[in-house]
Copies of this chain bind each other. A is one copy, B any other.
Amino acid sequence: MPLRLYDLCGADDLRFSPYCARAKMALALKGLAYETVPVPFTGIAAIAGGGHATVPVLEDGDRRVSDSFAIAEYLEDRHPEPPIFAPGPAGRAAARFVEGALFGIVHAAAMPIVGKTIHDRLQPADQPYFRETREAKLGRSLEAAHADRESRLPEARKLFFPLRHTLARSAWFGGDRPLYVDAVVYGTAHWLHAVNDADWFAGDPTLTDWFERCRAIVGAGAPA
């Protein structure tokens, strides 16, 4: 039985979730075949009979694993080759730092820019849930945040500094080959580009080239 990934979807089957994209790149880096099951936000509670609050959920026979980082660790344990974490506790800590920087800083700064666009690309049944939860975090309406997006974009782009700083010196965030840290950054980049046509990388060839290499990895591993 192939691995199955419950994968967030919007209208027109748009697959935009950064966390699901991370899981897909982790699967692709492991060379594992998988199929995806599209799930809207309002479908998450019904996955596999209930008990899951978020996607991605990876189903491996009778086992189900939630949370993108936990999925990557599960794959590393079950399929050690090729490794997707640098060795030992240092490798996990490095990946956690990158995860924290993207979630706590980049996603936080991007949400006002992309919130309304995501909302508009969701299935209608998902829109009230998304609006309510995201407006509570933003402290204002999606529309009010959207009105500022052009002025916020240059500040958000500055937050890619650690990405440029790293890729100026190595081909991958994993050093000389892609690791789960690359999947973490890829997931964020995928999310931003999937939901919003802003020129996020402002033509930076280092970021653009790295992103294309990640897309090729994920595309080669993706279900038909």
The answer to whether B165 and A97 have CB atoms under 8 Å apart is yes
A181 CB contacts on chain B under 8 angstroms: 93-94, 97
Query: Is A78 an interface residue when CB atoms closer than 8 A count as contact?
Result: no
Query: Is A103 an interface residue when CB atoms closer than 8 A count as contact?
Result: yes
Copies in the complex: 2
Query: Is A111 an interface residue when CB atoms closer than 8 A count as contact?
Result: no
A92 CB contacts on chain B under 8 angstroms: 169-170, 175
Query: Is A172 an interface residue when CB atoms closer than 8 A count as contact?
Result: yes
Given known pairs A92-B170, A169-B92, the reply for A97 and B162 (CB within 8 Å) is: yes
A104 CB contacts on chain B under 8 angstroms: 158-159, 161-162, 165
A96 CB contacts on chain B under 8 angstroms: 165-166, 169-170
A103 CB contacts on chain B under 8 angstroms: 161, 165
